[in-house]
Amino acid sequence: GYNVQFSTETKSGVIVGVDVTNAGNDQDELPPMLDQLHERYGARPDEALVDGGFASRESIESATEQGTTVFAPLKDEQKQLDAGKDPYAEKKGDSEAMASFRARMKNPASKLLYRLRCQTAEWVNAVCRNWGLWQMPVRGQPKCRAVATLYAITHDLLIGEKLRAQAIAESG
Q: Are 7 and 17 in contact (CB under 8 A)?
A: yes
Q: Are 73 and 105 in contact (CB under 8 A)?
A: yes
pLDDT score at 70: 96
Instruction: Detail the DSSP E strand segments found in 75-119.
Output: none
pLDDT score at 86: 94
pLDDT score at 23: 85
- Low-confidence stretches of the chain (pLDDT < 50) are none
pLDDT score at 151: 94
pLDDT score at 37: 96
Q: Residue 159 and residue 48: Cα distance in Å, rounded?
A: 21
> How far, CA to CA in Å, does 23 sit from each of 74, 88, 164, 171?
21, 29, 37, 46
pLDDT score at 52: 86
